[in-house]
């Protein structure tokens, strides 16, 4: 198949690119590298079925030839990124979604949208099933991401209903693994980076807020299964094992053997108190459930960060 992946140089997009190339597909990555990193896909350079196009998909997209899939993963996705790139985030999830849907329609291709557990906002229902409509502050700092992803879902469903587009929507819950940037600002990358450089681990709030962390290989497997499933409504992919942020900090300190202390900082505005996926739908329709527990996933991730640190100056990690 000929597959176009926007955001294919990002953390998740690059792992998906690797997986699809390993299956023998032709993969064309579109990325403007605003939060993505060419190093994530550089190892594929020269692969006869790999192509990279430096492009901002919020602008018109022109791609010659036939395409079987358009997979839209381009968007800043970390709170610090989408706060700084607020308008770019709104644009890539609205204009970028519209442009990529247009390409899929023109090429008679299938379409895959990366959505997020953030569409549930600060949820009042636990765990969160796909049928939950969420609790989102549209004008809060996270609104630029949450609302634009909600719009992207609405637009994708409209193309499905109006134009018969063969579409998929995945709602991705917190994901970690190799290639999550050191300065990405997310909790797993922050804690590992801080622990490995013996800097204090920064817990925002009291550390009792929860997340359920999935290892990137599990997510890519879920995405791959969803591509092959004729299901058009959103599907949660996440790990239902819930941890507090405080527990994660202790685990990272223990696993790295770090001398770091823990410091407490103020909780960002609208930071969700609890997040936990209901994965009943993925289990029954995709026969999917996560395989990698937090400790095993962290081991692989810590090993990767150590490797990265070996090639960089310790002080550049914050």
What sign has the CA pseudo-torsion 22, 179, 109, 224?
Answer: positive
Task: Enter the tokens of residue 184.
Answer: 């990405």
CB 93 within 8 A of CB 155: no
Q: Which is nearer to ligand UDP, 51 or 271 (CB)?
A: 271
Q: Which is nearer to ligand UDP, 151 or 204 (CB)?
A: 204
CB 182 within 8 A of CB 193: yes
Site for ligand UDP, rule CB under 6 A: 79, 174, 186-187, 190, 202-204, 209, 211, 245, 267-268, 271
Q: Which is nearer to ligand UDP, 163 or 273 (CB)?
A: 273
Q: How far is the CB of 42 from ligand UDP (least distance, A)?
A: 26
| Distance between CA atoms of residues 278 and 63, nearest Å | 38
Q: How far is the CB of 265 from ligand UDP (least distance, A)?
A: 7
CB 150 within 8 A of CB 116: no
The residue annotated as part of the active site, out of 120, 145, 176, 215, is 145
Torsion of CA 7, 299, 119, 133, to 10 degrees: 140
Rounded to a whole number of angstroms, the CA Rg of the chain reads 19
Main-chain phi, psi angles of 313, to 5 degrees: -85, 135
- Measuring CA to CA, which residue among 258, 138, 135, 270 is closest to residue 209? 270
| Angle, CA 65 vertex, CA 14 and CA 170 arms, to 5° | 40
Q: Which is nearer to ligand UDP, 142 or 168 (CB)?
A: 142
Q: Are strands 210-211 and 243-244 parallel, antiparallel or unpaired?
A: antiparallel
Q: Is 145 a catalytic residue?
A: yes
Q: How far is the CB of 229 from ligand UDP (least distance, A)?
A: 26
Q: How far is the CB of 301 from ligand UDP (least distance, A)?
A: 13
Q: How far is the CB of 12 from ligand UDP (least distance, A)?
A: 14
Q: Which is nearer to ligand UDP, 121 or 222 (CB)?
A: 121
Q: Which is nearer to ligand UDP, 69 or 191 (CB)?
A: 191
Query: Please, where are the H alpha helices in the chain?
Result: 11-22, 79-84, 86-107, 143-163, 187-196, 216-227, 245-256, 280-286, 294-310
- Measuring CA to CA, which residue among 44, 93, 50 is closest to residue 72? 93
Q: How far is the CB of 223 from ligand UDP (least distance, A)?
A: 19
Q: Which is nearer to ligand UDP, 179 or 211 (CB)?
A: 211
In the block, tokens 């823990």 appear at 262
Q: How far is the CB of 190 from ligand UDP (least distance, A)?
A: 4
CB 201 within 8 A of CB 249: yes
CB 76 within 8 A of CB 145: yes
Positions marked active-site: 145
């Amino acid at each position: 198949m000929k597959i176009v992946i926007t955001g294919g140089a990002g953390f998740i997009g690059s792992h998906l690119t690797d997986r699809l190339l390993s299956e023998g597909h032709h993969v064309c990555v579109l990325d403007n590298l605003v939060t993505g990193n060419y190093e994530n896909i550089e190892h594929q350079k020269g692969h006869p079925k790999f192509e990279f196009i430096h492009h901002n998909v919020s602008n018109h997209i022109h791609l010659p030839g036939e395409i079987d899939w358009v997979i839209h993963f381009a968007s800043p996705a970390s709170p610090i990124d989408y706060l700084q790139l607020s308008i770019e985030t709104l644009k890539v999830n609205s204009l970028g979604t519209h442009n990529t849907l247009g390409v899929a329609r023109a090429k008679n291709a299938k379409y895959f949208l990366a959505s997020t557990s953030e569409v549930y906002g600060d949820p009042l229902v636990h765990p969160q099933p796909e049928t939950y409509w969420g609790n989102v502050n549209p004008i809060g700092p996270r609104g630029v991401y949450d609302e634009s992803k909600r719009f992207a879902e609405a637009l994708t469903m409209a193309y499905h209903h109006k134009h018969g587009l063969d579409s998929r929507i995945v709602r991705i819950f917190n994901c970690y693994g190799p290639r999550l940037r050191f300065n990405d600002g997310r909790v797993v990358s922050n804690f590992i980076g801080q622990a490995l450089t013996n800097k204090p681990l920064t817990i925002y709030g009291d550390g009792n807020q929860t997340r359920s962390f999935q290892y990137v290989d599990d997510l890519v497997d879920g995405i791959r299964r969803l591509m092959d499933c004729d299901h058009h409504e959103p599907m949660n992919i996440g790990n239902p094992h819930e941890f507090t942020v405080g527990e994660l900090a202790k685990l990272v300190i223990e696993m790295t053997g770090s001398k770091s202390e823990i410091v407490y900082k103020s909780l960002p505005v609208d930071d969700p108190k609890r997040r936990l996926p209901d994965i009943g739908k993925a289990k029954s329709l995709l026969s999917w459930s996560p395989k990698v527990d937090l400790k095993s996933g962290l081991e692989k991730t810590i090993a990767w960060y150590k490797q990265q640190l070996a090639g960089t100056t310790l002080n550049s990690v914050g």
